[in-house]
Amino acid sequence: MEQVRITVFDTTLRDGEQSPGCSMNQQEKVRMAQQLDRLGVDVIEAGFPIASDGDFEAVKAIAAAIRRPVIAGLARACRPDIERAWDALKHAARPRIHVFLATSDIHLKYKLRMTREECLRHASEAVAFAKSLCADVEFSPEDATRTDPEFLFQVLEAVVEAGATTLNIPDTVGYTVPAEFGELIAAIRSRVKGIENVTISAHCHNDLGMAVANTMAAIAAGARQVECTINGIGERAGNAALEEIVMAMHVRRDRYPYQTGIASEQLFPASRLLSEITGSAVQANKAIVGRNAFAHEAGIHQDGVLKNPLTYEIMTPQSVGVPDSQLVLGKHSGRHALAIRCERLGYQFDRRALDEIYRRFVRLADKIKHVEDHHLLELIRETPKPAVSAAAMFEAVPIAIAAAAGAATHDGPRGFPLAPPANAFGLPIPPSEHHHDQEDYLWGV
Ligand code: KIV
Ligand code: ZN
């Protein structure tokens, strides 16, 4: 069965750029837009051309350089904004004018000082004007989730009639919750005349930490475009994170049987490039692209992942462009990961020797939190070898050195060390799996 296609509208360069510390110059925006193109987004919202000359030039440059995706420019519901947006976009291969106007009473009364009637007229006239310039027009009723639904339906109907091709429903202040947002999308689908001819889009902010959940609820209710940003950057708490939406669909195809044009292995490179350009770091525990997203410190988890990554990973790091999982050595780590790391450093220990190394390792980790390779090497050097009578307990064989000396134990032909049997991570299978004298559970602690 053919899967429903979701349009991915990336607004990293517009809404994302509006977040403190994330502004980008023209060259940086073009560089990021090229990566978004590689990533396979369908629409790049390149900026807000009336906002500054720099933004105008950046939108123009992106429109000239990036030819596959639709390039959108934002405009308020007034002629000067729309004209400026069109000036920046008119040479794009696939231009889109994105017009917005607030519709909630609170915005109308305090911000715009406009009546509902005036709002309705402005929205409809602005869309008609945009349509006279550009076939592809998106309309957003800002603060839609706090707008009286009956008035919202009225505005949406008017802009569809005026020529809008996409109706974007913004949760501007991150106020809604998934069930409510899903119901709103469903109500729009059933109440707005002409809705079957346009695309419904979701644009969610993360003030309550529900931007992605709300977006997924909107998709389930019939939205077919999602607006999102790399790393979830955006106003205040940010926008819905593109990488999370895409991977939710990917990993939970059973619940979200939809398809996107995203090349998921470009997600991590996109995240990295954005942080490099903006100088804004990604939080370590950020889903999909955070430093810890594929890192395991707890011994029981490390043991599980080493035996089969599926025990604690629901997607492969490679599927999102992360080179590999990481086993971080800290006080929660277990013997299994420690043994693997020692082997990688060229040392193999028998069970009792490893216990001794492990005891010292935990004491050190308690003090310094993360044990790096050089700490471990020092610790191995400083651990006294047991008496000769107990030699079997401690077999610190620096594998490479032993190999160079032609040691028999681990040698392959010509004295080279044999690569130990590899597990799914390409890591050597630890002694536990070739010496069956270890109780399995011990490896996790
Ligand atoms: O959050 C919002 O309401 C917006 C609109 C301009 C779409 O960013
Ligand atoms: Zn927004």
Tell whether 236 is covered by a domain: yes
Instruction: For 32-56, give the DSSP string.
Output: HHHHHHHHT-SEEEEE-TTT-HHHH
Q: Provide the residue type at 6 as one letter.
A: I
Tell whether 285 is covered by a domain: no
Of 277, 314, 308, give the one whose Cα is nearest residue 293: 314
Tell whether 288 is covered by a domain: no
What sign has the CA pseudo-torsion 166, 201, 189, 122?
A: negative
62 Cα: distance to centroid of ligand 2 (angstroms) = 21
The answer to whether the CB of 203 is under 6 A from ligand 1 is yes
**CA 270, CA 149: separation in Å to the nearest integer?**
37
138/260 same-domain check: yes
75/214 same-domain check: yes
82/186 same-domain check: yes
Instruction: Provide the pLDDT for residue 393.
Output: 39
Of 247, 278, 309, the residue at which a domain comes to its end is 278
**CA 115, CA 103: separation in Å to the nearest integer?**
10
> E strand or H helix at 141, and its extent?
strand 137-142
Tell whether 350 is covered by a domain: yes
**CA 206, CA 96: separation in Å to the nearest integer?**
25
Number of domains in the chain: 2
What sign has the CA pseudo-torsion 369, 374, 376, 378?
A: negative
**CA 82, CA 73: separation in Å to the nearest integer?**
9
Of 278, 304, 326, the residue at which a domain comes to its end is 278
188/230 same-domain check: yes
129/54 same-domain check: yes
Full residue range of the structural domain in which residue 413 is found: 295-442
Tell whether 283 is covered by a domain: no
**205 touches 211 (CB < 8 A):** yes
Of 196, 206, 319, 221, give the one whose Cα is nearest residue 263: 319
* pLDDT by position in tens, the chain (length 445): 678 999 999 999 999 998 888 989 999 999 999 999 999 999 999 999 999 999 999 999 999 999 999 999 999 999 999 999 999 999 999 999 999 999 999 999 999 999 999 999 999 999 999 999 999 999 999 999 999 999 999 999 999 999 999 999 999 999 999 999 999 999 999 999 999 999 999 999 999 999 999 999 999 999 999 999 999 999 999 999 999 999 999 999 999 999 999 999 999 999 999 999 999 999 999 999 999 999 998 999 999 999 999 999 999 999 999 988 889 999 999 999 999 999 999 999 999 999 999 999 999 999 999 999 999 999 999 998 764 333 333 444 444 433 333 333 333 222 222 334 444 444 444 444 444 444 555 666 6
Measured by CA distance, the residue closest to atom 1 of ligand 1 is 172
35/106 same-domain check: yes
The answer to whether the CB of 104 is under 6 A from ligand 1 is no
Tell whether 124 is covered by a domain: yes
418 Cα: distance to centroid of ligand 1 (angstroms) = 59
**CA 401, CA 92: separation in Å to the nearest integer?**
62
Exposure b/e, 376-402, CB count within 10 A at least 16 = b: beebbeebeeeeeeeeebbbbbbbeeb
> E strand or H helix at 7, and its extent?
strand 7-10
Tell whether 380 is covered by a domain: yes
Q: Provide the 10 A C-beta neighbour count for residue 151.
A: 17
Reduced 3-state DSSP string for 161-224:
HHCCCEEEEEECCCCCCHHHHHHHHHHHHHHCCCHHHCEEEEEEECCCCCHHHHHHHHHHCCCC
134/232 same-domain check: yes
The CATH code of the domain that includes 230 is: 3.20.20.70
Residue 312 dihedral angles phi and psi, to the nearest 5°: -130, 10
Instruction: Provide the pLDDT for residue 119.
Output: 98
Ligand 1 mutation pick, 9, 13, 15, max ligand atoms within 8 A of CB: 15
194 Cα: distance to centroid of ligand 2 (angstroms) = 25
Q: Is 419 exposed, middle or buried (0-12, 13-18, 19+ CB in 10 A)?
A: exposed
272/334 same-domain check: no
> E strand or H helix at 358, and its extent?
helix 351-368
41 Cα: distance to centroid of ligand 1 (angstroms) = 19
169 Cα: distance to centroid of ligand 2 (angstroms) = 10
Tell whether 375 is covered by a domain: yes
167/33 same-domain check: yes
190/302 same-domain check: no
Ligand 1 mutation pick, 50, 140, 204, max ligand atoms within 8 A of CB: 140
216/350 same-domain check: no
**44 touches 35 (CB < 8 A):** no
pTM: 0.86
The answer to whether the CB of 107 is under 6 A from ligand 1 is no
**CA 40, CA 269: separation in Å to the nearest integer?**
13
Q: Give helix then strand counts, H and E, for the chain.
A: 16, 12
Q: Is 202 exposed, middle or buried (0-12, 13-18, 19+ CB in 10 A)?
A: buried
Residue 33 dihedral angles phi and psi, to the nearest 5°: -60, -35
**Atom number in ligand 1 closest to CA 144:** 3
**CA 367, CA 149: separation in Å to the nearest integer?**
58
Look at the chain and count its residues.
445
95/209 same-domain check: yes
Instruction: For 248-295, give the DSSP string.
Output: HHHHTTTT--EE----GGGHHHHHHHHHHHH--PPPTT-TTTSTTTTE
